[in-house]
Structure 1
Amino acid sequence: MHPIRSMLIAGLLACTLPLAALPADAASQPAVGDAAPDGTPPVPLLWKVSDADNSIYLLGSFHLLKPSDYPTAAEIDAAFDQASEVVFEIPPAALADPATGMKMLQASGYADGRSLSQVLAPGELEQLDALFRASGQSVASVEAYEPWFINLSLVMGMSQAMGFDSTHGLDQHLIARAADKGKPTAGLETIDAQLAALDGMPMEEQVESLVEFVQDPAQARVELAQMHDAWRQGDTGLLETLAIDEMKSRTPESYRLVNVARNDAWLPELQAMLDDRSDEDVLVVVGAMHLLGEDGLVDKLSAAGYAVERMCGACSAE
């Protein structure tokens, strides 16, 4: 087991930001081990959380998907139809703002004046350069960027080579559906807050995750395929094992910033949707990582006394 998943999660199971694929071809290889869809919709990671007079539906997203991951399950369609508002990690209008990309580039630089060659060991830099040179690129093109940004860019390139696309992500699909139906939308946090979580990850953890990816990109492709398959199956136990356990143990501060701290910041907003509204249901779409495990929003809301029910006709009782 490798901590490669820490950056995969940040891009695909925890964060909504569009990932700038700087060296997109550097990790482009044929797909390995991806599950062949059987034509049925993915099993939804969907929970209904209720108080006396209204409900919120928590839906776990995979931020990059394939056309074969559609249509959505009937439970998702029903929750969307029932909701008076659809809430995402970041307001859709902010995601579409051209300034978002510039903010991400600004956050990806070194605030202390260092460069990539100063934070990677010579051998690690050579390995990264070899990965780039294999596709006609050079590590010099990313010298100004921090490891987290390079890692996410590599993940984006790898994902695209495997047939994933952000335009097919579940959140993007529902953003488009909400616009088509005229449903109001909102966000739980700002772009600046999400960037601060990524940029705040300790340098040593950023380096560890990037080096693990560079040393074994084939393993990263296998892990992405496994996580996508677990997400399609709606297998909460397997997805928690694949997506959380390694990051939590190997890069704990990154896990805290990307997952726990953001969940804690969102929790009062979700409670207000229940406590301060009546007869208005809300669909909340966030990366699947935010719903799973003891740090997840499902357990936190259950512990706060709300009624929680998994909405999944294909699932066994949980």
Structure 2
Amino acid sequence: MMILTNLVRRCALALIALLAMGASPAFADPALWVIRDHDSTIYLFGTVHVLKPQTVWRSARITQAFEAADDVVMEVEQPDNPMAVQPLMLKYGVDRATPLSAKLSPETYAKLQAAAQGMGMAPGSLDPMRPWLAALTVSLTPILRAGYDPESGVEKVLTAHAKAAGKPVHAFETLEQQIRFFADMTPDQERGLLESTLADIDEGPAKIDLLVDAWARGDQVALKHEMIDEMRADYPGVYALLLVNRNKDWARQLKAKMAGSGVSFVAVGAGHLVGPDSLQAQLGALGILAEVVE
């Protein structure tokens, strides 16, 4: 959801809690949008799924919008037990019949083995994984070692606060749906994801620090450049699968939600709220105007 390499970072900020932040800015002001009709108000907030515990991100605007909400909508359901994802990973991310060595070129496999061993993994430990899961694994490991914590991610914090306040928490997608956005990739898309991951792996947390610093400052131009532009140009199929199509679906869900009434706070990966195919753009195509909350 949420990404690690250039491709994963731009595609799925949210899929498996994969973003991080280094130094916290002295003044945090992430962007916030709102859509309204005569009896509905829905706030749209872009998130980062893994942060360092000291990261500052809650501004007065965000706090006020969240506290005003009757319910909260997340990109994906947040299980109480983090181990709930393991059966899905085994189902969709493991292939014991055909090892990675048989799916990759000798050069790519050698790079993967070197990266894994450099992270302290046993030789061949990734062989049962499908390419998409191997890509996420070798990308996530250095970020976690650098001190980034999934428990400090925005969704975790907001979910805890919502439950403490008695606010219902809903989701656009189930865990299984979100994992299948990776698992249903074509073999070529999977290999491309892994190759891109290995090509960019040395950039690691330093690159992500820059990206999330832009997020915390509300710099939408920098976010679009880091998260959207290259993926849209170089990986159009993956871009459509992980961003465009999902944004269209979420826009339809929000339009249906506006048929009701009340105030809602929607929190989805920041990559979904930037670029020409953003959630706001898809809402606009349905005749719903998203405005920046100043």
> Given the two structures, how large is their TM-score scaled by the length of structure 2?
0.90
Structure 1: which amino acid aligns with 2:197? F
Query: What is the aligned partner in structure 1 of residue 156 from structure 2?
Result: 172
Q: What is aligned with 2:59?
A: 73
**Secondary structure of 1:285 counterpart:** strand
Cα deviation for residue 307 of structure 1 reads 3.5
1:23 corresponds in structure 2 to: none
> 2:83, 2:200 → 1: CA distance?
34
Equivalent of residue 282 in structure 2, options 279, 294, 300: 300
CA distance in 2, matches of 1:266, 1:6: 22
Q: Distance in 1 between matches of 2:109 and 2:271?
A: 31
What is the SS of the residue equivalent to 1:69? coil
For 1:249-268, list aligned pairs within 5 A: 249-268=233-252
1:294 Cα deviation from its structure 2 partner: 1.8
Matches of 1:118 and 1:61 in 2, distance apart? 37
Retained in 2: the 8 A contact 1:65–1:165? yes
Residue 28 of structure 1 aligns with which residue? none
Q: CA deviation at 1:123?
A: 1.8
- Does residue 138 of structure 1 match 2:138? no
For residue 84 of structure 1, what is the aligned residue in structure 2?
70
Please give the root-mean-square deviation of Cα atoms over the aligned residues, in Å.
Answer: 2.3
Q: Unaligned 5+ residue runs, structure 2?
A: none
| Runs of at least 5 residues in structure 1 that lack an aligned partner in the other structure | 20-30, 313-318
Task: After TM superposition, give the deviation of residue 105 of structure 1 in Å.
Answer: 2.3
C-alpha distance 224-88 of structure 1, shift in aligned 2 (>3 A): same
Whole-Å Cα distance in 1 between the matches of residues 53 and 201 of structure 2? 24
- From 277, 292, 303, the equivalent of 2:260 is 277
Supply the AA of the counterpart residue of 1:6: L
How high is the sequence identity, in percent, across the aligned residues? 30
Counterpart CA distance in 2 for 1:80 and 1:240 is: 25
- Deviation readout 1:204-263 (Å, 9 max, x if unpaired): 232233223324422243321221121112111110111011112222212111111211
- The equivalent residue for 2:231 is 247
Is 1:61 the counterpart of 2:62? The answer is no
Partner SS, residue 72 of structure 1: coil
Deviations 1:25-49 (A, max 9, x none): xxxxxx9xx7633432x22221011
Provide the C-alpha distance between the structure 2 equivalents of 1:219 and 1:156, rounded to a whole number of angstroms. Answer: 12
- Look up the match of 1:8: 9
Helix, strand or coil for the counterpart of 1:117? Answer: helix
Aligned residues between the structures: 290
Partner SS, residue 153 of structure 1: helix
CA contact (8 A) 1:8 1:155 kept: no
